[in-house]
A and B are shown apart, each in its own frame.
Chain A
């Protein structure tokens, strides 16, 4: 392994025990090749500061646990390589969510709003379900299906929620991730729900609170386009 290059990173720290002050702390990380921001945070934890707090699970951009604000932009810490970032690399917790400690935010508000749109697919009732039945046959070329197909990859990382200015202005705004999920289930031909979900997402705080700012699209690490889903819900382009 080539001898370490030093990369300095500045971490926005917040310690509830220290009276909740927010401050910047800088570290010089021994950066090996291909290290991500998440690797750098681990390096700090393991070598410099055993009190640093952050969240992680898969380290491969699949679980959405490690979203944070890196050099001013929301992204997954495990998917942003130090080599491709301007130094010093600044790392802050997601915006619009309460900070628990350092980079660890409380995701409850995000998931409460997510829950509010009935994000779950509503299938046949358990009593009707026949375990020997055949899965649905879904022919190619269904337009709604094609859009849904692209939009279901959301990993609920919260990056878009943090990047959206309306979320921080309008507390009841459900936010891009929840509305995107609402579209994908509402437009699913297999879904058996009525129009209640549509009523909820078109009422105040729903799709009409969005001002098409588009930051959500810019930041989404998996290429989902929440604004497209929001547009389609606004137009009622959901066939039932």
Chain B
């Protein structure tokens, strides 16, 4: 007999993240390829979307992506925060927020994909011209936070190294893999939430949608966009590495340092083309 009791919130999150993670790999990479390698984020105009969504297949594809990425991200973020939220009240608040975010964004995204009428020039929301500014502002804020965060973390580490102070657990490759994996997962979820909102402009205000998308050409945002690709690539391959490690029953975890190096190399080499495209290079 194989004893297999697995109960509890953490067991659910553990299993769900792995199942949805596997299912999502192809979807995410195809999406990224279309948007980042074959095209430019800022070229994904309403006309472009309209052409794609003319095919029901792409709409089904996007909906699957929405469903899985959103739930995977929310389950992951919820698991992370639930571990640190100790008080019953904050735990309830967290549960409610997670449910509400999933419902709202899944609802909105589904509606958008279903409507997906070929756009005219304007839509019902076209007079609210502050919306693109708000979304652009949001993107700029996210980018700024990311840049400042990376710089501050690097500076703190550098200072400790210079003073020869202990650097906590950063001596361990496992620690880096874990921390980057989490940060990347959380960051991509943050982006996804903004992303669902901006795509929602497409049926309601194609002109404003185009204006939002144009913002992706801002040089200030380009490092963040490249970072986003890197984050997805890193998180995906690290997730696959974990699943492989867990499946193998080997002492594969001894390979911490080599796997970390492999992950970094893979991430850089897969994101470089995207960066090149962003910087204006065309195949």
Contact = CB atoms under 8 A, between A and B. Distances in A.
Contacts of A234: 6, 14, 246
B3 A218 contact: no
Contacts of A79: none
Interface residues of B, number: 38
Nearest to B172: A215
Given A165-B178, A199-B5, A236-B4, A217 B246 contact: no
Contacts of A102: none
B256 interface: yes
A88 to B, nearest CB: 7
Contact of A236 (B3, B245, B254): B3
Interface in B1-40: 1-11, 13-14
A30 B5 CA distance: 56
A217 B251 contact: yes
A165 B83 CA distance: 12
Given A213-B178, A236-B5, A238-B3, A218 B246 contact: no
B273 interface: no
Interface stretch (B60-68, B128-136, B163-171, B191-199): B163-171
Interface stretch (A55-63, A104-112, A121-129, A225-233): A225-233
A163 B8 contact: no
A64 B265 CA distance: 38
Name the prevailing secondary structure of the B interface residues.
helix
Interface in A111-166: 163, 165-166
A69 B246 contact: no
Contact of A228 (B11, B173, B242, B249): B249
Contacts of A195: 3, 5
Residue with the highest number of chain A CB atoms closer than 10 Å, among B4, B5, B86, B172: B172
Interface in A60-89: 69, 71-73, 88
A208 B6 contact: yes
B8 A204 contact: yes
Interface of B: 1-11, 13-14, 83-84, 86, 164, 166-175, 177-178, 242, 245-246, 249-251, 253-254, 256
